[in-house]
Amino acid sequence: MDSQQPPIKINTICCIGAGYVGGPTMAVIADRCPSIQVHVVDLNQSRINAWNSKDLNQLPIYEPGLDEVIKRARGRNLHFSNEIKKGIQNADLVFISVNTPTKKKGLGSGQASDLRWVEACSRQVAEFAQGHTIVVEKSTLPVRTAAAIQTILKASNQTQSKGKSARSFSILSNPEFLAEGTAINDLENPDRVLIGGEDSEAIEALALIYMKWVAPEKILRTNLWSSELSKLSANAFLAQRISSINAVASLCEVTGADVREVSKAIGTDSRIGTRFLNSGPGFGGSCFQKDILNLVYLCHHFGLPEVADYWESVVNLNTWQQHRIAKLVVKNLFGTVTGKRLAVLGFAFKADTNDTRESPAIRISKDLIEEGAQISIFDPKVKQKQIEIDLGIAASPPPNKKGDLSQAALNGEGTWWQTSNIRDAIDGADALLILTEWDEFFHIQWDEIAVLMRHPAWVFDARAVVDPVAVRSAGLKLWRIGDGSE
């Protein structure tokens, strides 16, 4: 950048997409930069209404600390609306933060990202932007998506420049590394902020925003493609660690080793490190599987089938792990769960979030329902409507006080219902499965629970949250992930 040139000053930001990434990220930017007006826009009116709700318990997503940030900034310099055109027109900088799920049909189906929302968004920016606009990819995108956005913006420039006042665009990639459940802390204290682009003035304008609260040495600048690929690679590396430790866990179970001891032993090697070595029911969330499949697609596209297979094996092991847990529940319950009551504790893909995208609980519950089980589901944050969407099966009424089976159950069909507390979920159950590491599951009083269950009763702890001694001395049988001890 020309050192004489004053940096571009950003007065107004528009973020398109008020989801799990856009909402919290813009809330923290607005909180830390009171002089910038931040407008978050979304097509989904009910989501916008939820972001504007007076009762902060009704925000569309649950994140610890989010309510405090919203309370400080909303109405001051943070605004949620569906005024997409106005938002873009007035913005010096537009974040694209829309959903990019895996394609369900057509070319690249099951692997490539579906970019139709990004494309629609780019066209909206192309149509409404005025003057110079910095366009920032925030959604995780396949490498070289920036080129597609650039092409759309350029094309609109050429067709409109005759009639309208001059417009210009700079494209940046600024992937978000926040993890759900710790989003506010991750945004306020990031390990790094990555900004990729070719236009150094635009890069510095965005860097100045982050520098309001992030140390300058944590702001990394790269070219566009490195930035896009770094995000996919970071997620692939993290997911690969989880599949590795889950693979080790299965070996521990048959050899008498304990995966927690192994994790500790290998994690103390400073080259390996301690984090992301918790074995569990497999990774979920909106990113890991989608991003790896994206990487797999890219590798095939660029003629690297061996590399594609390597990354695909990380997802395959994860899928296997989820089916494995459902299978071992059936095996331990005398080979059948038809008509049996099973309690699923935890449906979110991890604790401290209401997000269920790709949650291991979905596949495990579906497998057990398929086997004819009667499942009661308790999760402190996930709503019944969401579980119905995820399982693709409507909830059944809970059994009556006597625990009589419904007609569907008598016919051998699997059913499920939701409960509002742990006790109701467990009442009359043959087994309970812990699938999310919610804090309250660490404090279950096993003596009180054991008397509610039908014996011999099992605890399947896929998150290793229970105290094995307390469970066993309450007269319950225990399977714990990665635990080969009897």
| Catalytic residue list | 176, 231, 287
Pairing between β-strand 168-173 and β-strand 219-222 as defined by DSSP bridges? unpaired
Q: Which one of ligand ADP, ligand UDX, none is in contact with 349 (Cβ closer than 5 to 8 A by kind)?
A: ligand UDX
Asked if 406 contacts 371 with a C-beta cutoff of 8 angstroms, the reply is no
- How far apart CA 35 and CA 29 sit, in angstroms, is 10
Interaction pattern, residues 240-259, with ligand UDX; x per rule: CB under 6 A = --x-----------------
Subset of 94-133 contacting ligand ADP (CB under 6 A): 97-99, 117, 120-121, 124
Among 60, 87, 196, 280, which residue sits at the site for ligand UDX (rule: CB under 6 A)? 280
Q: Is 350 exposed, middle or buried (0-12, 13-18, 19+ CB in 10 A)?
A: buried
CA distances from 217 to 3, 13, 210 (A): 19, 24, 11
- Residue 311 makes CB contacts below 8 A (sequence gap 6+) with 236, 240, 292, 295, 296, 299
434 binds ligand UDX (CB under 6 A): no
Taking the complex as a whole, the smallest distance from the CB of residue 286 to ligand ADP amounts, in Å, to 5
Among 18, 115, 171, 195, which residue sits at the site for ligand ADP (rule: CB under 6 A)? 18
Task: Locate 152 and state its tokens.
Answer: 């759309």
Asked if 351 contacts 357 with a C-beta cutoff of 8 angstroms, the reply is no
- Looking at beta carbons only, is 350 or 366 nearer to ligand UDX? 350
- Looking at beta carbons only, is 430 or 437 nearer to ligand UDX? 437
Task: Locate 271 and state its tokens.
Answer: 């080259």
17 binds ligand UDX (CB under 6 A): no
- Looking at beta carbons only, is 42 or 352 nearer to ligand ADP? 42
Instruction: Indicate the residue whose CB is closest to ligand ADP.
Output: 19
Taking the complex as a whole, the smallest distance from the CB of residue 367 to ligand UDX amounts, in Å, to 17
Angle made by CA atoms 37, 38, 44, in degrees to the nearest 5: 145
- Looking at beta carbons only, is 133 or 235 nearer to ligand UDX? 235
284 binds ligand UDX (CB under 6 A): yes
Task: Locate 368 and state its tokens.
Answer: 């057990």
- Looking at beta carbons only, is 141 or 171 nearer to ligand ADP? 141
Produce one character per residue of 129-161: b if its CB has 16 or more CB atoms within 10 Å, e if not. Answer: beeebbbbbbbbbbbebbeebbebbeebbeeee
Which residues here bind ligand UDX, judged by CB under 6 A?
176-180, 235, 238, 242, 276-278, 280, 283-285, 287-288, 349-350
Which residues here bind ligand ADP, judged by CB under 6 A?
16-22, 41-44, 47, 84, 97-99, 117, 120-121, 124, 139, 286
